[in-house]
Structure 1
Amino acid sequence: MQASSLAVRWAALSDIGLQRARNEDAFLVVPERSYAVLSDGMGGHRGGDVAARIVIDTVRDELCRRPVGSGAEASASALRAAVLAANDAVLAAAAEDRGLTGMGATVVAASLCADGLVFANVGDSRLYRYREGRLEQLTHDHTMLQELVDGGMISPEQALRTPFRGMLTRALGVEPEVLVDVRQTDLRPGDMLLMCSDGLTDMVDDDEIAVMLAAGGDVDDRAAALVAYANAGGGRDNITVVLAAVADDEAVADVGG
């Protein structure tokens, strides 16, 4: 179904969590252009919050000058270019200020277009699609742990119990060149999209997320519930969620999952 026949209700929430001194997550939702971006500054590095903010601001500025939402090819090109520009911007900021040396960030960005949904990511911030009771992770984590799973050295079940989940193999602001994953998928009325930082997924597993997305209430209620549940589990990191509930234009009032 083409995005022009779909309506989306957005909700977004970011929380410092229970154990961090500052929030190093940042997000942007632009409903009028049907795209959203989320970035998680690299924990333990000075300037993680600065890096995340640079990523969000750069992607916004780049997408203001590029076509998103028209078609998959144009949207994919725009998202890739915007993420690459963000990588350059984080590196440039660190080069100008020694106090920011070593900062970096993840990014996940998604744009509704005439062909469905186009999304891009670097790092371990995720995009999910909830459809008809099933939660599917659309992005692929760029972590050492995911490489072990991909290589068959550990099982996905073992990965859930592994402590070094956040060791990134790709991030913005680390190297002059970065590989950006850009993909496309379809959307249907009744779908729900979830973008989140690892502050959510390290505390709440996919089955629990699916249950909470299936619950009643509007998207604001569900976003708040996800954040609250992550904090109830320990809130070890900053928690950011962006939800998008999809309906056709004639069913905007009923966008439940």
Structure 2
Amino acid sequence: MPRSSGCQPVREYRMPASSLGVRWAALSDIGRQRTRNEDAFRIVPERAYAVLADGMGGHRGGDVAARIVVDTFCSEMERHFAEAAGDGDCEQGMLAAVNGANSAVLDAAARERGFLGMGATLVALVADADGLVFAGVGDSRLYRYRGGALEQLTHDHTMLQELVDGGMISAEQASKAPFRGMLTRALGVAPDVEVEVAHTDLQAGDLLLLCSDGLTDMVGDDVIAAALAGDRSLDERAAALVALANAAGGRDNVTVVLACAVN
């Protein structure tokens, strides 16, 4: 089976009006069972933001949808930064970028009959002097590893998560359920999409992980936390996460983006 991967080396960007810098690394892999990689990502270190999209599995054009989401999100964020001139609301800028990506996928599907039904998840972050702004649609996730503890910052938009939220099943039962990928939200499905956008603090030493469900469907949070621990380089930790997903079966494409806040 053909395999493909891409590794983005560590780079550092120091945020204006802040003592913090951000170092980056990323890795995307086709996995053990897929014939193409339908994940896409981009890091823009000079603006301290990153975005990851996962094309909807089984849908025509999932890889196309993921690329459209990433390209449009970045174009809209650049427009936001240019117009804001440093004084804009980053949460509103991110919300506009996600909605723009949703419209772009719908427009592309309308133009090309073969892409009808394509869609993608999205998770993105922006680090600035005020902290961390992040957005999510679907089941790609953002984690923060701080002080030896791993915390999921985004909320999964899946049928399974709704059952957990409603108290109908436990989180442990959910981790073993066979229908984990049934999404309740995605980009490219409808003209209007509900976007989760939030803000939190950012401290030196924080390690942020953006990932597709090709990682989280294969390994649990405890395994992820163990892979992030220690003093290995960001590239080594990214490679370790991908290797763990593949060793567990690699049923899907797996993409990880790491950002570390440094003094």
Shared fold (TM-score, shorter chain, > 0.5): yes
| Alpha carbons 1:18, 1:237 under 8 Å: kept | yes
- Tell me, in whole angstroms, the C-alpha distance in 1 between the residues paired with 2:230 and 2:218: 19
Asked whether 1:225 is paired with 2:240, we answer yes
**Could you tell me which residue of structure 1 aligns to residue 49 of structure 2?**
35
- Tell me, in whole angstroms, the C-alpha distance in 1 between the residues paired with 2:239 and 2:22: 18
Asked whether 1:87 is paired with 2:99, we answer no
**Could you tell me which residue of structure 1 aligns to residue 33 of structure 2?**
19
Counterpart of 2:46 in structure 1: which amino acid? Answer: E
The runs of 5 or more residues in structure 1 that have no matched partner are 249-257
Counterpart secondary structure, 2:185: coil
Counterpart of 2:132 in structure 1: which amino acid? Answer: L
Percent sequence identity over aligned pairs = 70
| CA spacing shift, 1:12–1:151, aligned 2, 3 Å | same
RMSD, matched Cα: 1.5
Question: Segments of 4+ in structure 1 off by > 3 A?
Answer: 68-71
| CA spacing shift, 1:41–1:69, aligned 2, 3 Å | farther
| CA spacing shift, 1:3–1:157, aligned 2, 3 Å | farther
Counterpart of 1:61 in structure 2: which amino acid? Answer: S
**Could you tell me which residue of structure 2 aligns to residue 247 of structure 1?**
262
| Alpha carbons 1:33, 1:69 under 8 Å: kept | no
Counterpart secondary structure, 2:40: strand
- Tell me, in whole angstroms, the C-alpha distance in 1 between the residues paired with 2:175 and 2:85: 36
| Alpha carbons 1:34, 1:69 under 8 Å: kept | no
Instruction: Normalising by structure 1, report the TM-score.
Output: 0.93
The runs of 5 or more residues in structure 2 that have no matched partner are 1-14
Equivalent pairs, count: 247
**Could you tell me which residue of structure 2 aligns to residue 44 of structure 1?**
58
Counterpart secondary structure, 2:103: helix
Deviation at 1:217, TM superposition (A): 1.0
Deviation at 1:8, TM superposition (A): 1.1
- Tell me, in whole angstroms, the C-alpha distance in 2 between the residues paired with 1:65 and 1:179: 22
- Tell me, in whole angstroms, the C-alpha distance in 1 between the residues paired with 2:182 and 2:86: 36
Deviation per CA, 1:208-232: give whole Å up to 9, x if none. 0001100331100000000011000
**Could you tell me which residue of structure 1 aligns to residue 152 of structure 2?**
137
Alignment of 1:117-156 (within 5 A): 117-156=132-171
- Tell me, in whole angstroms, the C-alpha distance in 1 between the residues paired with 2:186 and 2:68: 13
Deviation at 1:4, TM superposition (A): 1.9
